[in-house]
């Protein structure tokens, strides 16, 4: 009976280490006690009292043993010990006086006495077959330690005062001498002595402490000089050459990989073709330092600026030596359970694996799932802890037992200790503390568990070698110019700070050169014009002021002889399959969109012509699968840019606005408790999607319409019982619809399969059978995981408002071929018959965009460096682009989209908008943006359509859009001018509905572009005021016709040319149309010129008849 009850129980009490030690009389050691939370420490108070008792209030009543008691009394032999580091260091604190008074406190002084160190060294060096005097070696080591601690770190005012060498550092030096001397008999003794000092601390002097590079280099120079003075004269020059040599060659054999004089054993993991260049001078030096550090079994910490190659160095070394590298991205949100494992709901992935619903059912039990670090320990893999100084202090201290001499980890939930195998290695990487972004200083007690290696920045020679090896198709002269230009910008902006103050600090490194070369290789074009356009995407578009862009352009002209600001204007061309934006080519994701996707509803997305340059840069990022960061003030066009591109490509764009309270679970997902109503809700959602598809596609015949009506009636089931009763009927109708319409079947195949599974579960609940597991929890994918699985475009707005730890979770997704490890969710592992954390690989169509308003602060330099940064300049009155022709045409196009169909009215509204911009600039107030003029038009149209007169509609909507109080309204709307516009024909209400046609017939997608010009000409009886602004657009349209234009459209026009120009453009506009869009082109002019619209409708009807007759008479297409 007890076994049966225990088997059916969901949870069971298990004694922890403290209770076990109290009952069995063992010794208990609490390491790093001061790092525990106050609530945990206070819970120990009764154990520390003379009574030594503990009441387990959390345990409750034991159903299996009625005589058991929740009161635990300590055994006579039970003892408790605790250790801690003193407060004052990073992450350290002191205990409360009340708790300290319960302990016998013993201060353990640091081992600094030379005799003590000599004794430890003597014991360590006994196992080595020294080829020179052991006493001499000990004396040299002690001399150097004493010199460094006194001469360099002795002054408390010195910036190096915190860098004193400890006993653990000296032991590392001694262990290196022992291990390398035993494995390499040919190593010169004094060279080995110098290498040991470099490994001990010179390779990473000051790393992790925030020490400036100048102070670190100065201290390193003094220490190296003293170190060489300790070497005998005959070996001093040889040691000096060894330490200063910057070029080394990799050595590869069947069982060894390394770089003279240090090698490591190769692993059994397949060796892929590594793209890391081991021959470049600085990377080879960095690799030598890492190989030197690997000669002893101690973790290795790599530090360097973003983009210097920390991660790629570890990955390249693992690939070349045949080891599997497990990369773990740490953040403030990382918990020890993510690394070691935890009990997670035992998920049944029969439904989860079959689709992308984001909902999976879980059985009523929990199962242990190994964390990614524990799994690597078991398998003997290499581990890279990326962004180490972003992790919380509790996680860092939880790794102590893995990092120090114990090399093991105890899992209380399993009651087991796991020892690290010899092949297991830990690498850690971090950016310097000064980089910001939530980075923290690391305590000395934690840092000295690592062998620290500073990753040197790449030089021009390194970049030449790396680029030549990775992009052999790029000419050497062109690559040299790219590298020198990148260095020039880095010096001017980062080091000398000559410009670029807005948006600083900046990064210009190897990532930028790689992106530039990748664009050249992907397009197969290394001509100067194309290279300039690529440089504009990567370098110019990131700067946030016109003056900064001009300075960068002048630097570019020095190296390439052409200007980035004088490139040909970007043109937009659309076909059924592709979208061409300048040199960027995007694939349309389908000929039509899903009717349930929401793309056919809401506001039309406008292609803002004044932003075609940034749009082209964003389109290039989409093509190359690069993360993109859009920077601009409110209303600058960040969201509209992405909405326009998504609509042009038929992509599903998801906008997520981040806030300071945003949690990472909102992005990745979480477990939720479920009930029987969840299936009913999911079924209703699936039926809604299927119903929308049926309405869209089942329209070809009368039978399709009848089937559609039957489906609508069957779907209207209120309760679960009614839906279960109609299950067979619904499935039969859906099968019939799939057989009748192939497109419906293709669109809804996944949804139909999901609906059948959900319907089966609903039937089981209604009948009360046990056909399905009685689920308690389900995993629900967050918006990020959903977008990655389904191939959506994800737009994260206001990324500089959310906590840095949330963005840090995105780090692996932002990398090339990135993936996301869901430590919160477990999936079944068929190989091991256990459970593993789910790894989400992105869909080929998945893209991620970030946007922010710089007025709210910046994000970390590392995150900015992972993205292609594109800044949308904000116009001011003094800016030439504020009232440029393109900006004015964009504003009129925005009013056209809101429903303002009168050209004179839109011109009048724009004049008032310009006047308000000028007044706001003079007052120093916030300048209205294009968002205000769009809101004015939307409100005016809405009020007018509800019966208000034109004057009141415009006056009220203007006050609301510009947020004025009535008495503060400076923009006057004279009634006399409104009356002269002749709005009594309800021009505001006439708005063509072409969104559906554009979505389902991509061949008509250029209609909006042509209409932008034609609507300007159609409503005027004389030359329009903005003709100069329209001429470039007119020439673009005429160029697309690929015919010889007889119109002299240039800036030297004459007023009497206008009528001829007007009607010829209308003829070209209508002549480009195919039979499908005659009617669409004619009704776009409603509200501008009734005469022109009627004339074009008449032409459309006649041409339709002519084409119909020609087709019936089998006349050749050319004659027709």
Q: How confident is the model at residue 349 (pLDDT cuts 50, 70, 90)?
A: very low
Average pLDDT over residues 15-28: 92
Q: Do the Cβ atoms of 811 and 865 come closer than 8 Å?
A: no
Q: Do the Cβ atoms of 59 and 71 come closer than 8 Å?
A: no
Sign for the CA dihedral angle at 664, 666, 668, 671 comes to positive
Residue 785 or residue 714, greater confidence:
785
Contacts of 242 (CB under 8 A, 6+ apart): 191, 194, 195
Amino acid 573: pLDDT: 85
pLDDT at 709 over 80: no
Q: How confident is the model at residue 1044 (pLDDT cuts 50, 70, 90)?
A: very low
Contacts of 1110 (CB under 8 A, 6+ apart): 1119, 1120
Range in 474-483, 564-573, 962-971 with the lowest mean pLDDT? 962-971
Q: How confident is the model at residue 1048 (pLDDT cuts 50, 70, 90)?
A: very low
Amino acid 191: pLDDT: 87
CA dist., res. 25 & res. 440, Å (int):
40
CA dist., res. 645 & res. 1005, Å (int):
13
CA dist., res. 909 & res. 895, Å (int):
9
Range in 339-353, 404-418, 783-797, 974-988 with the lowest mean pLDDT? 974-988
Average pLDDT over residues 1034-1063: 46
Question: Nearest-5° angle of CA 1111, CA 1112, CA 1116?
Answer: 40
Amino acid 359: pLDDT: 41
Phi, psi of 555 (to 5 degrees): -65, -35
Cα→Cα distances 397→29, 369, 376, 415, 942, Å? 15, 22, 19, 20, 61
Amino acid 188: pLDDT: 80
Q: How confident is the model at residue 992 (pLDDT cuts 50, 70, 90)?
A: very low
Q: Which of 973, 976, 913, 912 is nearest to 943 (CA)?
A: 973
Both tokens of 210, joined, read 């925030």
CA dist., res. 850 & res. 638, Å (int):
10
| Tens of pLDDT, residues 653-689 | 999 999 999 988 899 998 887 666 677 777 777 777 7
3-state secondary structure 729-776: HHHHHHHHHHHHCHHHHHHHHHHHHHHHHHHHHHHHHHHCCCCCCCCC
Coil, helix or strand at residue 614: helix
Cα→Cα distances 1028→483, 875, 1079, Å? 42, 21, 30
Average pLDDT over residues 257-284: 83
CA dist., res. 642 & res. 663, Å (int):
24
Residue 274 or residue 845, greater confidence:
845
Range in 776-790, 834-848, 1011-1025 with the lowest mean pLDDT? 1011-1025
Q: How confident is the model at residue 437 (pLDDT cuts 50, 70, 90)?
A: low
Phi, psi of 128 (to 5 degrees): -110, 140
Residue 540 or residue 1019, greater confidence:
540
Coil, helix or strand at residue 29: strand
CA dist., res. 775 & res. 320, Å (int):
47
Q: Which of 662, 635, 654, 657 is nearest to 855 (CA)?
A: 635
Range in 296-300, 333-337, 1049-1053 with the lowest mean pLDDT? 1049-1053
Average pLDDT over residues 958-967: 68
**Is residue 670 exposed (0-12), middle (13-18) or buried (19+ Cβ within 10 Å)?**
middle
Q: How confident is the model at residue 24 (pLDDT cuts 50, 70, 90)?
A: very high
Amino acid 629: pLDDT: 96
Phi, psi of 732 (to 5 degrees): -65, -45
DSSP label of 526:
-
pLDDT at 411 over 80: yes
Calculate the dihedral angle through the C-alpha atoms of 386, 392, 398, 403, rounding to the nearest 10 degrees. Answer: 40
Phi, psi of 585 (to 5 degrees): -125, 120
Both tokens of 343, joined, read 């009990």
Cα→Cα distances 383→96, 190, 318, 400, 668, Å? 37, 33, 10, 15, 23
| Tens of pLDDT, residues 932-945 | 888 888 888 888 77
pLDDT at 623 over 70: yes
pLDDT at 21 over 90: yes
Q: How confident is the model at residue 302 (pLDDT cuts 50, 70, 90)?
A: very high
Amino acid 935: pLDDT: 85
Coil, helix or strand at residue 517: helix
Phi, psi of 366 (to 5 degrees): -110, 155
Amino acid 1072: pLDDT: 55
Range in 230-244, 424-438, 476-490, 1050-1064 with the lowest mean pLDDT? 1050-1064
CA dist., res. 267 & res. 674, Å (int):
46
pLDDT at 774 over 50: no
Q: Do the Cβ atoms of 795 and 657 come closer than 8 Å?
A: no
Which H or E run contains 359?
A: strand 359-370
pLDDT at 978 over 70: no
pLDDT at 512 over 50: yes
pLDDT at 1037 over 50: no
Across the chain, mean pLDDT equals: 78
Coil, helix or strand at residue 695: helix
Amino acid 716: pLDDT: 61
**Is residue 764 exposed (0-12), middle (13-18) or buried (19+ Cβ within 10 Å)?**
middle
Work out the percent of the chain whose per-residue pLDDT is above 90.
Answer: 26
Amino acid 724: pLDDT: 62
């Amino acid at each position: 009976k007890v076994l049966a009850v225990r088997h059916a129980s969901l949870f069971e009490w298990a004694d922890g280490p403290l209770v076990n030690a109290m009952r069995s009389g063992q010794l208990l050691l609490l390491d790093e006690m001061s790092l525990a939370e106050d609530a945990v420490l206070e819970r120990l108070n009764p154990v520390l009292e003379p009574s030594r008792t503990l009441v387990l209030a959390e345990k409750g009543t034991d159903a299996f043993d009625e005589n058991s008691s929740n009161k635990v009394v300590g055994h006579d032999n039970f003892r408790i010990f605790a250790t801690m580091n003193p407060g004052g260091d990073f992450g350290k604190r002191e205990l409360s006086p009340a708790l300290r008074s319960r302990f016998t406190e013993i201060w353990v002084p640091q081992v600094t006495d030379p005799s003590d160190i000599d004794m430890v060294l003597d014991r360590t060096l006994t196992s080595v077959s020294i080829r020179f005097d052991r006493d001499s070696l000990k004396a040299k080591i002690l001399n150097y330690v004493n010199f460094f601690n006194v001469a360099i770190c002795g002054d408390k005012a010195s910036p190096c005062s915190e860098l004193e060498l400890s006993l653990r550092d000296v032991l590392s030096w001694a262990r290196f001498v022992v291990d390398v001397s035993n494995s390499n008999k040919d190593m010169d003794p004094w060279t080995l002595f110098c290498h040991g000092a470099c490994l001990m601390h010179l390779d990473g002097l000051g790393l992790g402490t925030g020490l400036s590079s100048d102070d670190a280099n100065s201290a390193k120079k003094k220490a190296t000089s003293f170190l060489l003075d300790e070497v005998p004269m005959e070996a001093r020059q040889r040691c000096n050459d060894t330490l200063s040599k910057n070029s080394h060659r990799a050595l590869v054999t069947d069982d060894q990989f390394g770089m003279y004089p240090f090698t490591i054993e190769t692993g059994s993991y397949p060796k892929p073709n590594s793209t890391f260049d081991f021959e470049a001078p600085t990377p080879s030096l960095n690799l030598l330092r890492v190989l030197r550090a690997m000669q002893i079994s101690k973790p290795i910490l790599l530090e360097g600026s973003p983009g210097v190659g920390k991660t790629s160095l570890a990955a390249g070394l693992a690939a070349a030596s045949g080891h599997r590298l497990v990369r773990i991205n740490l953040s403030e949100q990382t918990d020890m359970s993510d690394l070691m494992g935890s009990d997670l709901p035992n998920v049944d992935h029969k439904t989860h694996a079959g689709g992308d619903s984001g909902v999976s059912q879980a059985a009523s039990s929990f199962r242990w799932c190994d964390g990614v670090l524990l799994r690597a320990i078991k398998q003997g893999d290499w581990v890279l802890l990326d962004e180490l100084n972003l992790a919380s202090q509790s996680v860092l201290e939880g790794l102590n037992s893995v990092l120090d001499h114990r090399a093991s980890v105890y899992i209380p939930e399993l009651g087991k200790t796991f020892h690290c195998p010899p092949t297991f290695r830990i690498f850690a990487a971090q950016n310097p503390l000064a980089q910001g972004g939530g980075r923290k200083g690391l305590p000395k007690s934690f840092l000295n568990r690592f062998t620290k290696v500073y990753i040197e920045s790449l030089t021009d020679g390194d970049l030449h070698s790396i680029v030549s090896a990775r992009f052999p198709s790029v000419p050497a002269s062109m690559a040299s110019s790219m590298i020198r230009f990148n260095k020039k910008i880095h010096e001017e902006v980062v080091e000398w700070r000559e410009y670029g103050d807005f948006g600083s600090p900046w990064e210009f490194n190897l990532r930028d050169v790689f992106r530039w070369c990748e664009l050249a290789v992907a397009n197969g074009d290394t001509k100067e014009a194309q290279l300039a356009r690529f440089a504009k995407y990567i370098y110019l578009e990131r700067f946030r002021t016109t003056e900064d862009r001009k300075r960068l352009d002048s630097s570019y002209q020095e190296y390439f002889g052409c200007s980035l600001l004088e490139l040909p204007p970007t043109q937009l061309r659309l076909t059924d399959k592709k979208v061409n934006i300048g040199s960027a080519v995007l694939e349309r994701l389908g000929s039509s969109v899903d009717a349930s996707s929401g793309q056919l509803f809401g506001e039309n997305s406008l292609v803002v012509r004044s932003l075609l340059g940034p749009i082209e840069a964003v389109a290039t990022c989409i093509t190359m699968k690069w993360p993109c960061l859009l920077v601009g003030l409110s209303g600058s066009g960040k969201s509209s840019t992405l909405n326009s591109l998504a609509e042009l490509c038929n992509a599903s764009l998801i906008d997520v606005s981040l806030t300071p309270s945003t949690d990472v679970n909102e992005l990745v997902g979480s477990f939720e408790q479920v009930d029987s109503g969840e299936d009913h809700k999911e079924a209703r959602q699936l039926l809604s999607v299927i119903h929308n598809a049926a309405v869209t596609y089942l329209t070809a015949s009368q039978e399709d319409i009848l089937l559609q009506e039957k489906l609508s009636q069957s779907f209207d089931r209120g309760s679960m019982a009614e839906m279960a009763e109609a299950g067979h009927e619904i499935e039969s109708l859906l099968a019939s619809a799939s057989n009748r319409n192939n497109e419906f079947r293709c669109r809804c195949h996944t949804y139909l399969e999901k609906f059948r599974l959900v319907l089966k579960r609903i039937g089981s609940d209604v009948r009360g059978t046990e056909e399905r597991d009685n689920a308690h929890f389900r995993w629900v994918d967050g918006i990020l995981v959903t977008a990655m699985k389904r191939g959506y475009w994800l737009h994260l707005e206001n990324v500089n408002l959310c906590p840095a730890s949330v963005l840090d979770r995105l780090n692996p997704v932002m990398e090339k071929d990135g993936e996301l490890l869901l430590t919160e969710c477990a999936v079944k592992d068929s190989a091991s018959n256990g459970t593993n954390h789910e790894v989400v690989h992105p869909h080929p169509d998945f893209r991620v965009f970030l946007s922010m308003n710089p007025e709210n602060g910046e994000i970390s330099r590392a995150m900015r460096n992972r993205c292609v940064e594109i800044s949308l300049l904000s116009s001011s009155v003094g800016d030439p682009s504020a009232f440029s022709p393109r900006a004015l045409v964009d504003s009129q196009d925005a009013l056209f989209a809101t429903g303002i169909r009168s050209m004179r009215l839109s011109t009048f509204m724009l004049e008032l908008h310009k006047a308000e911009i000028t007044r706001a600039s003079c007052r120093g107030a916030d300048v209205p943006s294009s968002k205000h003029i769009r809101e004015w038009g939307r409100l005016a149209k809405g009020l007018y359509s509800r019966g208000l007169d034109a004057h009141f509609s415009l006056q009220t909507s203007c006050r609301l859009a510009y947020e004025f109080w009535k008495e503060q309204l400076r923009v006057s709307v004279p009634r006399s001018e409104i009356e002269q516009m002749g709005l009594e024909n309800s021009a505001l209400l006439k708005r063509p509905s072409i969104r559906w046609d554009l979505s389902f017939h991509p061949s008509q997608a250029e209609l909006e572009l042509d209409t932008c010009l034609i609507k300007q000409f159609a409503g005027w009886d004389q030359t329009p005021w903005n003709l100069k602004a329209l001429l470039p657009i007119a020439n673009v349209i005429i160029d697309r016709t690929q015919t010889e234009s007889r119109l002299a459209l240039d800036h030297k026009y004459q007023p009497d040319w206008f009528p001829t120009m007007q009607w010829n453009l209308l003829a070209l506009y209508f002549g480009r149309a195919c039979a499908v869009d005659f009617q669409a082109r004619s009704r776009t002019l409603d509200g501008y010129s009734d005469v022109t619209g009627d004339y074009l409708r008449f032409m459309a009807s006649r041409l339709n008849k002519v084409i119909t007759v020609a087709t019936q008479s089998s006349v050749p297409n050319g004659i027709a």
